[in-house]
Structure 1
Amino acid sequence: MSTLRLVLVRHGETASNVRGALDSRPPGPPLTERGRQQAARLAEELATEPVVAVYASTALRAQQTAEPVAQRHSTPVRVVDGVHEVQVGDLEGLADQASYDRFFAVYSAWADGDLHRPMPGGETGQQVLDRYLAVVRGITSRHADGSVVLVGHGASIRLAGMALARNVPTSLAEGALLPNTGRVVLEADAKSPTGWQCLSWTGLRVLS
């Protein structure tokens, strides 16, 4: 029986990650040398996966992370609009604790169901999900089985992962940030009301 898996991957390290800056606008900065090493390691870790397609957001860092994976599986990187990072508006480029507190206050509200609350000068959670889930629907229409790798961004992956798979505990999606090249693995499930179940979250097995 054929099964479709969706592997959501956060990009590798950038200079903005190193200095702790909120960096959401594409195309954004490239990977650091360490980020390139992380991308190469990701390709090695996914070498035995039955990867049928590799997608990436419009951000340069996502495309550079996806490239080694695509090369390993002899497939192109398909750039898609709609899976870029949560647009943080007035918080863009800031790295102070007060800005992070404002970001996490909104994100926590989203995780608790208040999706219409906006980031200061930025997107609402509903806007993020509307664009992200449309891309996932497009992928589902193009692929029936195998593993599809989608390289994107931590905050949008966490929010979409929780929306796509109802077996993801809110505490997990709202808790620790995804590390660079951290993965959320989903599997198509016709019995799920959302059509997906989560198999693992950054290496942690998620119960159905």
Structure 2
Amino acid sequence: MSDLACAATVLVARHGATDYVETWFSDEGGWLSAEGRSQARGLADALRDRRLARVWSSDTSRAVQTAELVAARVGVAAQVPVLTRRSLREADAGDLRGQPFDVHRLHEVTDRWFAGDLDARFPGGESGREVVDRYAAELAAVADEHRGETALVVGHQTALSIVVPVLTGRTDRSRAHELANGEYAELAVDADGWRLVEDAQ
């Protein structure tokens, strides 16, 4: 990241609740449920007075739909109000893709991340450290783009819930701080680095 003489505010949010057709591990499917659309509207209402310069999003449909609902509801003035980035996707579960979905198989790896072992890896997929590095690089790029402004980034539960404490030096990385659907945390960054302004809202 370039030297941020002028601070940037980056709000990071988890997408709304999602319906899926497939019952296997995949990062491609899913669209907002009625509850998810309500959560996206609630997120927009919570941010209505924040004068968002732009909304950034994972390129998965559930995140994009959330981002577009927020941008439209708050009236983001940018010519392109939502920009998508593949680098904001959820952690890559590797060899689990295509296998029957079982949250316990995810937790075999992600529990280790929350316990501080970021070198733990999904076979054929990412380690926690790689997820943090990927997200940190994209968040830094967003901050560079929005010095003196506020931007929203719509991403995913596990990725955001490990990158936020790592970036901000938070020692408590338990699942108690995971973002719920439609929740956000506020980060600020300047030349001194990242800090957590507000926990999940």
TM-score range, shorter chain: 0.7 to 0.9
TM-fit CA distance, 1:24: 4.9
Give the whole-Å Cα distance in 2 for the aligned partners of 1:170 and 1:182.
Answer: 17
Q: Deviations over 1:139-183 (max 9, x none)?
A: 122111221100010001111111211136223xx3354211111
Q: 2:104 aligns with which of 98, 101, 108?
A: 101
> What does residue 163 of structure 2 align with?
160
Aligned residue runs from structure 1 range 1-208, under 5 A:
3-16=7-20, 24-26=26-28, 28-71=29-72, 72=74, 73-75=76-78, 76-92=81-97, 94-96=100-102, 100-167=103-170, 169-171=172-174, 174-175=175-176, 177-191=178-192, 195-203=193-201
Give the whole-Å Cα distance in 2 for the aligned partners of 1:129 and 1:90.
Answer: 20
Give the whole-Å Cα distance in 2 for the aligned partners of 1:77 and 1:160.
Answer: 22
SS in 2 for 1:144: coil
8 Å Cα contact 2:10/2:143 also seen in 1: no
Q: Deviations over 1:75-128 (max 9, x none)?
A: 3101112010012234446444xxx33322322322333222112442111221
Q: Which residue type is aligned with residue 14 of structure 1? A: T
Q: How many residues align?
A: 192
CA pair 181-166 structure 1, distance change in 2 beyond 3 A: same
Uncovered stretches (5+) of structure 2, i.e. residues with no partner: none
TM-fit CA distance, 1:61: 0.8
Give the whole-Å Cα distance in 2 for the aligned partners of 1:200 and 1:106.
Answer: 28
CA pair 64-182 structure 1, distance change in 2 beyond 3 A: same
RMSD of aligned Cα (Å): 2.5
8 Å Cα contact 1:2/1:146 also seen in 2: no
8 Å Cα contact 2:25/2:101 also seen in 1: no
Give the whole-Å Cα distance in 2 for the aligned partners of 1:182 and 1:94.
Answer: 28
Percent of pairs identical after alignment? Answer: 32
Q: Which residue type is aligned with residue 111 of structure 1? A: F
SS in 2 for 1:82: helix
Q: Which residue type is aligned with residue 128 of structure 1? A: V
Give the whole-Å Cα distance in 2 for the aligned partners of 1:48 and 1:168.
Answer: 31
Q: Which residue type is aligned with residue 60 of structure 2? A: A
Uncovered stretches (5+) of structure 1, i.e. residues with no partner: 204-208
SS in 1 for 2:88: coil
SS in 1 for 2:151: strand
Per mean C-alpha deviation after superposition, the further-off stretch among 148-157 and 60-69 is 60-69
Q: Deviations over 1:27-60 (max 9, x none)?
A: x211112211221221111100131111011101
